[in-house]
Every structure is written in structure tokens, then in C-alpha cells.
Amino acid sequence: MRHHARKGEQSAFPRARVADALPYWLIDANLHLWIDSNGDSVTAGPIEYRDPRIRLERESKFHDLDGKLKVEGETKREASGWVKSSAGNLTTRVYGKVEFESKLVLKHGGRKVRVRQSVRAVDEVRVRSEAGHSVAEMGRERRYPLQVRATVMPG
């Protein structure tokens, strides 16, 4: 799904906001269905949702087309909800964190370019019973390094 918005504009989606972005953005969503063949009904609801603003730090030093730019950032999100079915009353907590660092160096009038970027994403999901016992846990960490060097040749 594609939606056009500008920085600071109110989004058509209540929990989505545009911050420090390109003039377009993409959004996705999840739909969770709990099918219980052993029970007559399933009830569920949210407990908490936290999605604080992204933390960004920028540093730059340029003289004409030569210089350096460094951007570091981090964002975290947490959500929890419950579902009551024939399996009992279960609580699910989801935690996610993304850290990134991006460096850009321009030399020789902008003709030599070096980009180094690193992204680290951590996700955790925990499901607990009404008594607080662990029913399921999942965690993963992903890293996305990127390094680009380019030289613009005359002609």
C-alpha cells in the first residue's frame, strides 16, 4: 500500500506519522486471527502500545563539495495484548529495536564518494500464560552492513 505525505502532515492512519522522511513512504499492517476448534468463542484485546519517536543525531562538516556527514539513530517499539480461548488466557509481548549509523565522505570536489552504513534490528516475542509461565519465546537479531565506494571519472 502506498500513501503520499509530507513531513509533519497528519496521516490518514492514527498511529502512523511522517518524520524526517522522503516525500513518500510505505506502510504495512498485520492481521491476527485466532481460530479455536476446541472452544465456542475467542476474545482478545490490546494491553499497551508504545512507539516513541526515533532518536537521531547528525554531524556534518563540509567545505564546498568536500566533507563528511554522519547520522546515528535508534527506535524502539513495544506492544502487548491478550487472547482468551480454550487454551487459557495468554498474554503476548512484542519488542523491537533498530539501531543504525550512516557515514558519507566526499572528497576531490565530490568526485570520490564513500558510504558506510550499518543497521542492527532486534525482535523478541514472548507468550505467557495467565499464571505467568512461559508458553513460547522467539528472538532474532539481524545486521545489515553496506559499504559503497565510487569515483566519478572525467569525460
> Tens digits of per-residue pLDDT, 50-83?
888 889 999 999 998 899 999 999 999 999 999 9
Regions of the chain short of the pLDDT cut 70: 1-31
Q: Is 120 left (phi over 0), alpha (psi -120 to 50) or beta?
A: beta
Residue 145 CB partners (closer than 8 Å, separation 6+) = 117, 118, 119
- Dig out the grid coordinates for 14 from the structure: 492514527
Mean pLDDT of the chain: 84
Shared domain check, 104 and 61: yes
Shared domain check, 144 and 74: yes
Within-domain flag for 37: no
Distance between CA atoms of residues 122 and 94, nearest Å: 11
Shared domain check, 67 and 20: no
**pTM exceeds 0.75:** no
Shared domain check, 48 and 102: yes
Predicted local distance difference test score (pLDDT) of residue 35: 78
Domain range spanning residue 1? 1-31
Shared domain check, 49 and 86: yes
> Which residue reads 524526517 in cell numbers?
20
Shared domain check, 135 and 74: yes
